[in-house]
């Protein structure tokens, strides 16, 4: 994985390269309400397809069994609204054969955006699909969703009519709907206690949780407490938005002009300040990788991320991270060796 350094872009150690940074939300109240934060990706998907700027947007949404998540093709406002909201579960967003077509757009996790831009390497910017991404703390397991749905709504064979991770408010509740009723738990419990802890190791050593390879990358622009920790109190959604490329800049300004998005420019540092999970992971990544490597675990090679520089920012904490990941790697290797 590599960090793009386009000419003329500003560079933030935690957020990567950007041309502009904004706080924005969908002007349409329904899109804003149903979206994970400001409904920005939903509003853009609806507008891009309905104005014919792109033929389709490939994203992710609920499967027929709505405990599962699948790659979906958005062609209008209705299909955009049907896949509004984040889905905290595995999905092969890029499985569609149309994914590289230049007349389309893709909404995808940062790792997928990075893979897609590698696939499109050598093509002119206009010959690539428009890439929309979002900040990503990592993908929880499918089992975590199944367990939580079962815990809230009852037995395994309960027919789940709908399952939403968040949205319909900001951040909104994890909500399971069955014939018997609607069962919910708040974001702090669903993400913090149930889904987040099941995240795969690969995500814990990801250097790009911020969508560096995308044209536009959206995130939650949380309200925080005095120490900078998100409050997760319900409110009207607001997204931070990083403009990464000239193409992204053109799309954002056209959407603002068309009245599809509302917002104002924002210092990028203010986005980093309300994303402690992202900044912590990047600052501790060199330590984590070193610990795993010393324990004999192969680790991926990353290019262009300022991981060593960030690690020196708090050397004591980096050494703690190295020791922790060394211990975890050793104990998981010895568990695997046991007959």
Ligand X SMILES: Cc1cc2nc3c(=O)[nH]c(=O)nc-3n(C[C@H](O)[C@H](O)[C@H](O)COP(=O)(O)OP(=O)(O)OC[C@H]3O[C@@H](n4cnc5c(N)ncnc54)[C@H](O)[C@@H]3O)c2cc1C
The backbone torsions φ and ψ at residue 164, rounded to the nearest 5 degrees and listed phi first, read -125, 140
Strand partners, 175: 164, 184
CB 168 within 8 A of CB 84: no
Of the two residues 237 and 248, which places its CB atom closer to ligand X in the complex? 237
Of the two residues 91 and 297, which places its CB atom closer to ligand X in the complex? 91
Of the two residues 27 and 40, which places its CB atom closer to ligand X in the complex? 40
The minimum distance between CB 2 and ligand X, in angstroms, equals 21
**Distance between CA atoms of residues 19 and 34, nearest Å:** 28
Of the two residues 107 and 290, which places its CB atom closer to ligand X in the complex? 107
Name the residue with the smallest CB distance to ligand X. Answer: 59
The minimum distance between CB 39 and ligand X, in angstroms, equals 4
Of the two residues 17 and 145, which places its CB atom closer to ligand X in the complex? 145
Judged by the rule CB under 6 A, the positions of this chain that interact with ligand X are 35-42, 45, 59-61, 69, 83-88, 91, 93, 107-109, 134-137, 139, 167, 209, 218-220, 237, 239, 275, 277-278
Q: Which stretches of 154-215 are assigned E, i.e. beta strand? A: 160-164, 174-178, 181-185
The minimum distance between CB 184 and ligand X, in angstroms, equals 17
**Distance between CA atoms of residues 62 and 69, nearest Å:** 5
Strand partners, 106: 58, 131
The minimum distance between CB 67 and ligand X, in angstroms, equals 14
By three-state DSSP, how is residue 60 classified? strand
Angle at 237 between CA 234 and CA 238, to 5 degrees: 130
């Amino acid at each position: 994985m590599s960090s793009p350094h386009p000419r003329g872009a500003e560079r933030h150690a935690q957020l990567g390269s950007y041309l502009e940074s904004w706080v924005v939300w969908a002007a349409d109240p329904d899109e804003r309400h149903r979206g994970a934060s400001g409904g920005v990706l939903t509003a853009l998907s609806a507008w891009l397809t309905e104005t014919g700027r792109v033929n389709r947007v490939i994203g992710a949404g609920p499967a027929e069994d709505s405990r599962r998540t699948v790659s979906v093709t958005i062609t209008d406002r209705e299909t955009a609204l049907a896949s509004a909201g984040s889905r905290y579960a595995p999905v092969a967003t890029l499985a569609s054969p149309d994914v590289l077509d230049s007349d389309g757009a893709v909404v995808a996790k940062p790792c997928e955006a990075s893979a897609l831009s590698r696939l499109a390497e050598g093509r002119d910017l206009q010959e690539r699909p428009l890439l929309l991404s979002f900040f990503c703390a990592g993908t929880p397991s499918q089992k975590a969703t199944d367990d939580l749905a079962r815990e809230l709504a009852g037995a395994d064979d309960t027919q789940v009519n709908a399952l939403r991770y968040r949205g319909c408010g900001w951040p909104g509740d994890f909500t399971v709907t069955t014939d018997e009723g609607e069962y919910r738990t708040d974001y702090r419990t669903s993400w913090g206690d149930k889904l987040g802890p099941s995240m795969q190791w690969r995500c814990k050593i990801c250097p790009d949780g911020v969508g560096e390879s995308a044209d536009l990358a959206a995130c939650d622009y949380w309200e925080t407490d005095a120490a900078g920790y998100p409050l997760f109190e319900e409110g009207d959604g607001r997204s931070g938005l990083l403009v990464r490329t000239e193409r992204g800049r053109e799309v954002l300004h056209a959407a603002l002009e068309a009245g599809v998005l509302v917002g104002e420019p924002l210092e990028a540092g203010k986005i980093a300040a309300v994303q402690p999970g992202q900044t912590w992971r990047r600052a501790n990544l060199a330590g984590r990788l070193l610990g795993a490597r010393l324990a004999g675990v192969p680790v991926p090679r990353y290019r262009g991320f300022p991981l060593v520089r960030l690690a020196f920012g708090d050397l004591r904490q980096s050494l703690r991270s190295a020791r922790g990941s060394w211990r975890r790697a050793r104990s998981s290797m010895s568990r695997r060796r046991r007959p």
